[in-house]
Amino acid sequence: MNYYIVTKEVFENMIQGDITFAHHLSDTCIVTSTEDVSDTLHEFANTTELANHTGLDEWEIDETEYLSGL
């Protein structure tokens, strides 16, 4: 799994079926995905690092299913 913060533009160009979690902010997105993305604002090694940086709970990142198109 890959853990990123990306711009909205990068998010819109990602393979939606590969995204497992997404949290939209004003101009960025917190994303976990199986896709390898090179154009990121931040990349994290695991859920713990992502949670510590963003303030989200680890369970929220791990257990919330991303449903594209909603």
Q: Which domain holds residue 57?
A: 2-63
45 belongs to a structural domain: yes
Residues 22-46: b if buried by 16+ CB within 10 A, e if exposed: bbeeeebbbbbbeeebeeeeeebee
51 belongs to a structural domain: yes
Per-residue pLDDT of the chain (70 residues; tens, 9 = 90+): 999 999 999 999 999 999 999 999 999 999 999 999 999 999 999 999 999 999 999 999 999 989 875 5
**Token digits of residue 13:** 């160009």
70 belongs to a structural domain: no
- Provide the pLDDT for residue 67: 82
69 belongs to a structural domain: no
- Its pTM stands at 0.91
Q: How many domains does the structure of the chain reveal?
A: 1
- Provide the pLDDT for residue 69: 59
**φ, ψ (nearest 5 deg) of residue 20:** -105, -20
8 belongs to a structural domain: yes
